[in-house]
Structure 1
């Protein structure tokens, strides 16, 4: 069953610190949208309240699901500013940017299948 999401998830690699009342854990956001993030490298129990620290900016969240080495965090307010939102916008722009054509050279230094 596929869940209809209200925001497009973007693949990213953003190192962050996840902080709770009792602990600070280092992790990596690997999937981000305005509504939430998937974090790998650390985990908290579902329904835990936490904050994501990036470049001195805090984004609050609630753990929705948790596995051995990853968790899903939902933001109570959609991202619309700050360093995390800026990284999301950069990743979106990079994903949509056209890839420049780069011809491949074969081992003999020519183009295509045959070296002339």
Structure 2
């Protein structure tokens, strides 16, 4: 009997960004652009390293450690072993997400009295 596993939803919300970074591998440093960022990982365009390799992402004086999860010729996806919670890269993520709009609540006391949207009596 074969057991089928259902795909798990992503733990973090991905946000499209455009952040120029430097990726430091074991043997080389590559300039790239983060195009998709979350607290748990990123997609970096313009840089590629072998899958399962470890690297450092340099941005704004901060170093973020990452593990390459998938790679193509000109881009790669990395996972952060330590969740982003502070620093310049986290601040850029928060700026890209923008202010969260609070849901508007309409209470009975603030509604116009009468019938319909025009308040006809």
**TM-score scaled by length of structure 1:** 0.78
Please tell me the root mean square deviation across aligned C-alpha atoms, in Å.
1.5
Match of 2:31 among 6, 14, 26: 26
Which blocks of at least 5 consecutive residues in structure 2 are unaligned?
A: 1-5, 102-121
Residue 45 (structure 1) shift: 0.6
Match of 1:70 among 63, 70, 75: 75
Which blocks of at least 5 consecutive residues in structure 1 are unaligned?
A: 98-116
Partner of 2:97: 92
Q: In 2, Cα distance between the equivalents of 1:63 and 1:22? A: 15
Partner of 2:51: 46
Runs of 4+ in 1 over 4 A off after TM superposition: none
Aligned residues: 96
Residue 21 (structure 1) shift: 2.1
The structure whose Rg is larger is 2
Residue 3 (structure 1) shift: 5.3
